[in-house]
Amino acid sequence: MNESSAGEECYSFVFDDCDSALKAYHERFPEAIELSRAVAIGELEVAGEYDESKHDQLFASFGSDGLDSTDLGMFPTYLVRLNADQLEAHEREQLFDILSADLPFKILVQSDDILEPSTVGDGHLAFALHSRGLASQAVGLTGVFVLQAPSSSLVEVRETIHDGLDYLGPTLFSVFSGASPAASASSAYLVSAAARESRAFPVFVYDPATGEDWAHRFSVDANPQADRDWPVHPLAYEDAACQSRADDVSITFVDFVAADPRYSAHFAKVIPSEWTDAMVPVAEVIHLEGRAQVDRVPSLLMLDADDVLHRVIVDEKLVREARRCLSMWHSLQELGGIHNSYAERALADAPEHAVVVVDPAGATPELVVVVTAPTEAAAEIPDLEPERSPDEPYIETARCSTCNECTLINSKMFAYDENQQAYILDLNAGTYAQLVEAAESCQVSVIHPGKPWNPKEPGLDDLLKRAELFA
């Protein structure tokens, strides 16, 4: 704790353990209640609405049941910096006490090693065990903002980081640094980038403020080729006969493990004269089980220190770990609305000549509607949005993500329907400037300002130019 130039104490809001952060929060909480009470009373008095007979008794017990997120939002948040590899059971328990209690804490958990050997032994990997467990459990609390990302992606997801810092509830940032002691030969940036590329540490965000369902709250879109099992990239090289070759190569979990010298025993280099047709890319073998994989040898292309390309074979243990990694990735994909099993089952079970209409935002089960109609009648199904004049202001209500941006600008002009999706309630309750501002703030660009209804409103030339983007 430092002292200001006036001799008064200045609070610190950055901590390296949960104990110290909680202790500071509880010590300062009575002062926070007093200040919140004073602000609330002051606002009523300024508005001329303070009534002693009604409000004195209310404010006498103000804060006895704690403060809500709006009141706590007036104060600085607490930043707690932790290392996942060093978290003891007590610290993990306190971390989740903080997250569960909806306290205004921003918790940064850094992981340096996501390929640590499992404590159960027998050569099993506990890949991303500590960090993945924290992030997944935090998402399960439903009220916690969660961002998981490797350090190489932090610039790319900077807006999401800002959202997490602005979120009024608790936030968990889970970051893989790539600075593993076992990968000292590679830069931390490249190791962390490889972790995202190989699905070992994928990016995902869970934001409770963006809607009421998973389709709006959860996203894996920041991952490369998020709709695929593994990212696929072209590889151009020169073979032993000095001929140009090009192949499409899948980047799998096994590729990530191959760069870690601790697991070199799981790979074996094969000289070119011993290459056979039975050696197939590991990405293909991962999808095979039992007898289907008996006559196939999982292999991988690797470069040596002289940039010479080699083919190596991979043992079954790593193939099993890759399957486990892929299964976890499939779960994240489905939460993010990719390859939704409920929607796919509805499509498969639909009767012949049926038209299946699936909500594009995520296709959760309750949003799957089967319309049993002849195929030739499918063209008669009306559009979700009617054709409108380009001069008419309107909102594509069916696509609204309930982000609250427009209602915060003017709750009399904009309102929510029974599905918590926005529509224009009363144009005359606001200005064209507010309508354009709402269109610019809308996270899914569903607000269309049209033309101004008051020709005397100032600044229309500039507003019309801004509105053109949302015609």
Both structure tokens of 154 = 């932090």
Average pLDDT over residues 318-345: 88
For 456-467, how does the pLDDT look when each residue is reduced to its tens digit (9 = 90+)?
888 898 889 888
- Percentage helix, strand, coil for the chain under 3-state DSSP, each rounded to 5: 40, 20, 40
For 21-35, how does the pLDDT look when each residue is reduced to its tens digit (9 = 90+)?
999 998 988 888 888
For 58-72, how does the pLDDT look when each residue is reduced to its tens digit (9 = 90+)?
787 787 677 777 778
Rounded to 5°, the CA angle 150-155-159 comes to 105
Average pLDDT over residues 202-211: 95
Output the pLDDT for position 368: 44
Give CA separation, 407 vs 197, 371, 402, 435, 441, in Å. Answer: 39, 34, 9, 11, 11
Calpha distance 247→146 (Å, rounded)? 37
User: Residue 230 has what DSSP assignment?
Assistant: S
* pLDDT surpassing 70 at residue 223: yes
Q: Is the pTM of this model over 0.85?
A: no
Output the pLDDT for position 17: 93
Output the pLDDT for position 371: 46
Of 116, 322, 336, 83, which is closest to residue 199 (Cα–Cα)?
A: 322
Which domains, ranges and CATH numbers included, belong to the chain? 9-219 (no CATH), 232-333 (no CATH), 341-380 (no CATH), 394-470 (3.30.70.20)
Both structure tokens of 134 = 């924290």
* pLDDT surpassing 60 at residue 426: yes
Residue in the block written with tokens 């915060």: 408
Q: Would you say 63 and 75 are in contact if contact means Cβ atoms under 8 Å apart?
A: no
Task: Give the orientation angle of helix 432-441 with respect to helix 460-467, to 10 degrees.
Answer: 30
Calpha distance 236→247 (Å, rounded)? 7
Both structure tokens of 85 = 């590899």
Output the pLDDT for position 381: 43
Residue type, 262: R
Of 412, 415, 446, 404, which is closest to residue 431 (Cα–Cα)?
A: 412
Output the pLDDT for position 202: 95
Average pLDDT over residues 248-252: 93
Average pLDDT over residues 62-86: 83
Give CA separation, 187 vs 177, 182, 202, 259, in Å. Answer: 10, 11, 19, 12
77, burial (CB in 10 Å: exposed 0-12, middle 13-18, buried 19+): middle
